Amino acid sequence: MKICWIGLGNMGLPMATHLHTAGHDVVGFDLSPDARDAATAAGLRSANSAAEAAENADVVVTMLPNGEHVKAALFEAEALDASAVDALVLDCSTISAEQAREIADAVTATGRRFLDAPVSGGTAGAQNGTLTFMVGGESADLEAARPLLEAMGARIFHAGAVGAGQSAKMVNNMMLAMNMQSTCEAAVLAQRLGITPQTVIDIAGVSTGDSWALRNYYPVAGPVDAAPSNRNFTGGFSVALMRKDLGLALDAAAAHGVDTVATAEVARRLDNLVADGRGSLDFSSLIHLIDGTASSAGSTR
């Protein structure tokens, strides 16, 4: 199967590589020359444009920062027109449900198919092929895509119609952001109380304070080898992207009359990190606003 992959960043490249390893003909494109070079080094074919990558592709996968990027790649850069007439478009980006439905309408109007399939699991999940997929779209289209999703992930959920995958991802990321904020607060307090990071993980990890953020992204260097805190918060899931996702959640909550005071506070703190020049760091760097490392930290009292 020929697969066009657009977006070869921290998540996209390892995901595309799993499809290549599974025996598919994967042609990748990214606006970054360095990303294209990395794809070539990983064994993928690399194209110089989205349309070139998508030429006669059976499947077009997008893994991009936001909905406007997805629309630009598919429509303005003509990846959709270049793909096979019955191609399946699989958008793994995190965008709004409304944008997913808008894109789906434009794709299906050409006779092609569309699924929104955002992921959870972080860069480690992408590298290890253990991602969770939250899929919105027709059941038949999901079944057609299932072998591809299984090559990249461990869990696949059909959330409902187009846009439902994005809604499910948005809710998940709301909880992730708040879990990380509370983990950062607890981590700093534990340090000042003389409790080691490993002790916190050992106890909370089997108690009611357990969370994915605790076990996988502990914000103090040392106990979790793969955590961004062990590489100065580089890589991982950036502050800027988490802030974008919380913006989607806050907009949806406002539209549906849901009070999101905790989500709004974490979003404000992410804004502080962006203002302090830390937008490219992993979002677990929220701890910098608690331990005083970030200069834009404000009082929490």
Alpha carbon 141 to its chain's center: 22
Q: Do 110 and 233 lie in a common domain?
A: no
Q: Do 10 and 123 lie in a common domain?
A: yes
CATH number at residue 213: 1.10.1040.10
Q: pLDDT tens digits, residue range 51-97?
A: 999 999 999 999 999 999 999 999 999 999 999 999 999 999 999 99
Last residue of a domain, one of 160, 182, 201: 160
Q: Do 147 and 212 lie in a common domain?
A: no
DSSP string, 103-155: HHHHHHTTT-EEEE--EESHHHHHHHT-EEEEEES-HHHHHHHHHHHHHHEEE
Q: Do 19 and 131 lie in a common domain?
A: yes
As annotated, the active-site residues are 169
Alpha carbon 137 to its chain's center: 19
Last residue of a domain, one of 119, 140, 160: 160
Q: Is 299 part of a structural domain of the chain?
A: no
Q: Is 295 part of a structural domain of the chain?
A: no
Q: Which two tokens stand for residue 35?
A: 């990303």
Q: Is 300 part of a structural domain of the chain?
A: no
Residue with tokens 């198919």: 113
CATH number at residue 96: 3.40.50.720
Q: Is 174 part of a structural domain of the chain?
A: yes
Name the band, by pLDDT with cuts 50, 70 and 90, for residue 300.
very low
For the chain, the domain total comes to: 2
Q: pLDDT tens digits, residue range 127-138?
A: 999 999 999 999
Last residue of a domain, one of 141, 160, 179: 160
Alpha carbon 282 to its chain's center: 12
Q: Is 250 part of a structural domain of the chain?
A: yes
Q: Do 33 and 116 lie in a common domain?
A: yes
Q: Is 298 part of a structural domain of the chain?
A: no
Q: Do 76 and 208 lie in a common domain?
A: no
Q: Do 107 and 198 lie in a common domain?
A: no
Q: Is 294 part of a structural domain of the chain?
A: no
Q: pLDDT tens digits, residue range 169-215?
A: 999 999 999 999 999 999 999 999 999 999 999 999 999 999 999 99
Is the four-CA dihedral 106, 112, 115, 119 of positive or negative sign?
negative
Name the band, by pLDDT with cuts 50, 70 and 90, for residue 301.
very low
> Collapsing DSSP states into helix, strand and coil, what is residue 89?
strand
Q: 19 pLDDT exceeds 80?
A: yes
Q: Do 123 and 260 lie in a common domain?
A: no
Q: Do 14 and 127 lie in a common domain?
A: yes
Structural domain range at position 199:
167-289
Q: Do 140 and 16 lie in a common domain?
A: yes
Are the C-beta atoms of 169 and 273 separated by less than 8 Å?
no
Q: What is the model's pLDDT at position 288? A: 97
Q: Do 176 and 118 lie in a common domain?
A: no
Report the predicted TM-score, pTM, of the whole model to 2 decimal places: 0.91
Q: Is 30 part of a structural domain of the chain?
A: yes
Q: Do 201 and 269 lie in a common domain?
A: yes
